Amino acid sequence: MYMIKVKYRIFLIILVLILLLLLVISCNSSDSSGHDGTYSTSGGVGGSNAENINAKLNKLLNAFGLLSYEQEAIGKLQKIVTNPDIGNTEGYKTYGSLEFYDLLKTLGALRVKGIIKNYLEFAKFQNNVERTINTVSDTDLKDRLQSKLKVCNSSYGFALKELFNDVVSAKLSYDDYVVQTTVKTNDQIAKLEPEIEGVVGDQDIFLHLDGAEGCAIAQIGEILVDSEIDHGRIYTYDEFYDLLNRLGFFRVIKIVDIYQKYEALQEADYNEIITMIKEEVKDETFKAALEDMAVMTYSSYRNNIRDIFTKYDDGKALSVIPEPEYVYEKMTHAVYRSLFTDIKEYTESIVRYKNIEGSLLREERQVLSYIQGKGGKSDFDFVVLLGKLDAAQVKAIVQFHAKILKAKSAAQEARMNVTDDREKEPLMEAFRDTVEEYHKHLVACFKHKDSQTFYNAIVTGTYANDFNRITEKASGLSPKTESGTTNPDINSDVKPGSTT
């Protein structure tokens, strides 16, 4: 009996220890909530409910396709709207975690990404201001700037809390809410940016640049000192570094940011056009020509950078180094325009024409070859121009000029049948004049850069009738013979745009 009681007590002790262990594990799990990719909760929700909401929130953010840095931004926004001290006096609503989750779910992925984009823009601005302040050794100036940044940060948090309050109280629609976050972000930046822009620290700017920023500055410097670029003002490195120091850290990293975005867009456009050329253009000669154009165009972007750092007078580059404000103004107002737009259009035109050409008969390609040769158009330009037309228009051009060439061939044969030299000479002169006028007309047509203007001109003219009149007159002066041919008198059998 005694042994049974001992065993029973030991069993109770073990059971209590197990329960205590489970309690400790539970507490540790609760304390670690919000770390390692989860978000801490507030608003009176605790225990397993808090863990459940965190899991739901993470699942929702993953479903929205948010990257880790975007999810971190959501975590920081959550801290603002769940902080009871922000907007407390104004009576702004403080969210609980479940309410925050419900709001994000209602906003949807697209709106949430718009909110994140604005927040990250402000966060980047805030970071750049802090880095600029760190370049200043003057204690009083540094303290003033830090105080202004603190006020700006508080105002931004207050503005976001106000917007969250308005969207819940239906003062704002969900779409308007996203728009207003943009407005508030820009407002806060606009208040502080003018004050920080002109700050020129007394420390070496390069000490405060990260690796990517330093690389971008080096690239800009290489462009400005390269004497082989025959465009704009050529700098020395000393002149360039002196200009950077006069710009100040904040404006330098703003210039770097714009340059990096420009580079990324340029690189993406270049890769896109090269891929398009390789995949869609089958003619090797045209493919090589387009690729060469793309490479040259890619290099020409350096001229745009030179322009920003150069002052001009009536189109002539001046030797004077521009003021920092001038460079900063030009850089921040520069608008990116793809330099590959024309090459893309050329590629599309070549592909389109080659598809049309495949449906043409041999005799029809001969007609096009004739008007190309007499019009003085290169293979490349000819194919690009006709590729801007549709198949029906190309066919119409072929038919129109096939009639002219048939009439020309008939007139030539008819005048040769005239035996009287006195009667033949006027006919030969009329024939030569008509041919000359026809060829001049072709040259004039191919000078039009607009495809529709070209088309309207190339299918206009009375040359077929002019040749027919010569034929009729010659036929009345010569013996009746069967003359004329169904094929135009063409010296070349080369296809338009062919290199053979």
Domain ranges in the chain are 63-203, 211-342, 360-476
Using one digit for the tens of pLDDT, what is the confidence trace for 176-185?
777 777 787 7
> Of 103-112, 260-269, 378-387, which range is least confident?
103-112
- Selected residue with higher pLDDT from 398 and 203: 398
Would you say residue 203 has pLDDT above 80?
A: no
Question: Which of helix, strand or coil describes residue 317?
Answer: strand
Tokens of 342: 């024309």
Confidence of residue 494 (pLDDT cuts 50, 70, 90): very low
Would you say residue 17 has pLDDT above 50?
A: no
The average pLDDT across 129-156 equals 87
pLDDT attached to residue 440: 97
Sign of the dihedral defined by the CA atoms of residues 249, 253, 255, 259, in that order: positive
Name 312's bridge partners: 317
Q: Which residues contact 344 (CB under 8 A, 6 or more apart)?
A: 273, 276
Would you say residue 11 has pLDDT above 70?
A: no
Would you say residue 303 has pLDDT above 50?
A: yes
The average pLDDT across 57-78 equals 93
Would you say residue 310 has pLDDT above 50?
A: yes
pLDDT attached to residue 477: 65
Average pLDDT, the chain: 83
Element holding 479 (H helix, E strand): none
pLDDT attached to residue 162: 85
Confidence of residue 59 (pLDDT cuts 50, 70, 90): very high
- Selected residue with higher pLDDT from 182 and 291: 291
> Of 13-27, 213-227, 472-486, which range is least confident?
13-27
Cβ-based neighbour number of residue 122 at 10 Å: 19
The average pLDDT across 31-55 equals 52
pLDDT attached to residue 284: 95
Q: How far apart are CA 67 and CA 73, in angstroms?
A: 10
The average pLDDT across 458-487 equals 74
Would you say residue 146 has pLDDT above 80?
A: yes
pLDDT attached to residue 168: 60
